[in-house]
Structure 1
Amino acid sequence: MKDTAGEGGLKWYPVYTNPRAEKKAFAALIAKGIEAYLPLQRKLKQWSDRKKWVEEPLITSYLFVRIPANSQAEVLMTKGIARFVYFSGKVATMPDNQIEELKLLMASSLEMEVTEEDLQPGEKITIKGGPLKGITGEIVAHRSQKQLLVRLESMGQSILVNAPAALINRF
């Protein structure tokens, strides 16, 4: 089992940004030498005169920082950062493996959708092949398709990913 404190007491923390400030806050954190992760997804945007592919944050107003607990003030003094995310009255932390799974999801070419709906737990599964091999999650019925749910409980967010039934292993 992985240590959730990571190397040298470093932990992943979800932070809440000012509206539409995710990319600027991310750049400011990197410029300060703070390890940060901002999951971006490509979307085709339609304007009246053109279409264009743009990169948008997967989870609006959120990004992740990997810091020792005593560096929280430095993160809060970064332009664009609003506050740390709290869960049960304490600053929320994310296990290293959840961030790694999120990075793996983002590296895949599967369609994704983020929802704040409190989806009810379903059948637990593991992906047994393809770019998401080894990721565990829950099956939920959504738009009459079977989809993999990766729940980021400490943030109150859920990520739905289309996954072919042939690649799902029930346990």
Structure 2
Amino acid sequence: MTTTSTSTASPRWSTWPSQDRSRSRSIAALMVLSARAVVFAARLGAVPRRNPCGRLAGRRYTDCPVKRGLDTSAKSCPVVTEPGWFTPRWYVLRTRSRHEKVVRDQLAQREVEVFLPLAERWSRWKDRRQRIAVPLFPGYCFARFLLTERYRLLNLVGVATLVGFAGKPEPVPDPEIEAIQRLAASTLQYDPHPFLTEGMDVEVVRGPLAGVRGKLLRKDRTTRLVLAVTLIRQAAVLEIHPADIVPVR
């Protein structure tokens, strides 16, 4: 008589050490969380998606002709490819009267890179004079952000609109912002100045503003340099020695 012994085979995973099982569960949980994060970001418009026409477009924007299927011949979405979509750029926020510093403080609280150039001037009170800091370009504040963030910034107190052309925000060239930032950080005396369309382009070759380019202006035998922000048609002017500048070819 033959006796047949039966043994129940344990599942393969049960032979794994408990540490390996915990690691596998952690990896699976991370994969699920990553998938959910991608779906959530796509709903917010931070992740581009494919349109029915097969073109790449942002989900948030409804004015994209490619997304709406009105232009199937375009090679790429004009909204996605415009500057500032994936790379932060400098933009100009137009503010309400005397709200420049209010807007600056709100942007700083939201960890948005902000730049509000100030100029000092004398203010007369009842019995004394006091030197105060006022915005160099009244009614404007500079901020560096992605275009996907513009809607929440436009809802800030004191913000009127975003400066641009044909209803589209226009970024400010980095060299223009850097020139005004270096001027504000220096100890030179400067004041607001009307925007000029005429004048020679010059470059500073020595001093704290070496490498900065601007417009040359002569007034009352004094050589002055005008640093302009073309988008908002504003400028600042400072006195400079003729030997410190050279023409730009």
Please give the range of the TM-score, normalised by the shorter of the 2 chains: 0.7 to 0.9
What residue identity is the alignment partner of 1:129?
Answer: R
What residue identity is the alignment partner of 1:23?
Answer: K
Partner of 1:111: 189
Q: Is 1:136–2:213 an aligned residue pair?
A: yes
Q: Is 1:163–2:240 an aligned residue pair?
A: yes
TM-score w.r.t. structure 2 length?
0.62
Q: Secondary structure at the match of 1:59?
A: coil
Alignment of 1:1-171 (within 5 A): 9-87=87-165, 89-117=167-195, 119-171=196-248
What residue identity is the alignment partner of 1:123?
Answer: M
Structure 1 residue runs of 5 or longer lacking an equivalent are none
The answer on whether the counterparts of 1:121 and 1:140 sit within 8 Å (CA) in structure 2 is no
Q: Secondary structure at the match of 2:141?
A: strand
1:60 positional shift: 0.4
Supply the distance in 2 between the matched residues of 1:28 and 1:89 (Cα, whole angstroms): 24
Q: Relative to structure 1, is the Cα distance of residues 158 and 67 closer, same or farther in structure 2, using a 3 angstrom cutoff?
A: same
Larger radius of gyration: 2
Q: Secondary structure at the match of 1:9?
A: coil
Aligned-residue CA RMSD (Å):
1.8
The size of the alignment, in residue pairs, is 165
Supply the distance in 1 between the matched residues of 2:203 and 2:93 (Cα, whole angstroms): 28
TM-score w.r.t. structure 1 length?
0.87
Structure 1 or 2: more strand by fraction: 1
Segment of structure 1 superposing worse, 47-56 or 81-90: 81-90
Identity fraction in percent: 28
The one-character-per-residue Cα deviations of 1:77-99 (angstroms, maximum 9, x if unpaired) are 11111111123653221122221
1:128 positional shift: 1.0
